[in-house]
Amino acid sequence: MKKKLYVGVLIVSILINCMLTYFLLHAKSPSSVRTTDVQFAFSQLDDNPKSMLLQTIGAAEDQLDIAIYNLDDSEIAAAIIRAKQRGVPVRIITDADKADKKKNGKILDTFIQHDIVVKIVDSQKMHLKMAIVDQTKIVTGSYNYIGMAEGISEESNQPAIMMNYSESQESGTAVYVTDETGQEIIAIAPEKAFQSIVISTPNLQLDQNYTFQSGGVLTGTNNNGVYEQADYTEGSLSVDLPLSLIMTYADENGITEGKTNQMMHGQPPMR
């Protein structure tokens, strides 16, 4: 009896060893296992969420699915439309409360005009902020696709200029705006580093020409970075800006057409 039990245990042991050997021989080596590339971004840095999102959308080839609580950023909307125009299937799902806002609604209307599938959730709050690209990349976090740095509302009656620099500017960098007669509109030296700056003042008027300068030296009465009756020494940047819109976007080369917020209005989005 003991001999039979010993033989049985030996057979079971041999079977277990054979199974372990098989799995070890056929298991994937570490080099054959797909790794996950994780990147992160924070607002106000060069590698900010918007820049990384635009890059990812721009690289989409096979599929673009977006679930976003709030979308009113015209530059992101334009990138989504360009993906569709490249032949990428695009689907959008968003929240009903945000979709009812004027600017959001115009963007969603434009998506529909470009045959982008739009779904609006009105049964509960749709609070996701996620994009899935080509079923291989996921962009997620707390970032809504909103123009916090897009400037002022298109419903405002006071013109504004938004200058977007290609690189971050150091704190204390002088910004000097004058009208076509050379009269000072505003003279400031922000106390924190910045890459975009919005200027809105009653002194700005539509259909007038202005000169945006920065990088020089400001002298005069300084009150928390705002100068009065300033003298400005010419700096590294000088851009002429004719204002024809309430919100004028510009970079170091002049006015940029990609952020004029001129979205077409069409049929209401599907619910």
What's the pLDDT tens digit per position in 105-155?
A: 999 999 999 999 999 999 999 999 999 999 998 888 878 887 654 455 555
Interstrand relation of 64-68 and 90-95 (parallel, antiparallel or unpaired): parallel
Q: Which residues contact 11 (CB under 8 A, 6 or more apart)?
A: none
Q: SS3 for 244?
A: coil
Determine the pLDDT at residue 13: 54
The residue among 224 and 259 whose pLDDT is bigger is 224
Tell me how far apart the alpha carbons of residues 82 and 4 are, in angstroms, rounded to a whole number.
75
Q: Which residues contact 217 (CB under 8 A, 6 or more apart)?
A: 174, 232, 233, 235
Determine the pLDDT at residue 265: 31
Determine the pLDDT at residue 5: 47
H or E element that contains 222: strand 217-223
Contact 178, 210 (CB under 8 A): yes
Determine the pLDDT at residue 198: 87
Q: Within 10 Å of residue 211's Cβ, how many Cβ atoms?
A: 15
Which DSSP string do the residues of 164-217 spell out, in sequence order? Answer: EEEEEEPTT--EEEEETT--EEEEE--SS-EEEEEEE-TT--TTEEEEEEESSE
Q: State the pTM of this model.
A: 0.47
% the chain with pLDDT above 70 = 74
Q: What is the pLDDT averaged over residues 207-232? A: 93
**Does residue 87 surpass a pLDDT of 80?**
yes
Mean of the per-residue pLDDT values of the chain: 80
**CA 46 to each of CA 52, 139, 167: distance values in angstroms, whole numbers, following the listed order:** 10, 17, 7
Domains and CATH numbers, the chain: 49-140 (3.30.870.10), 160-258 (2.60.40)
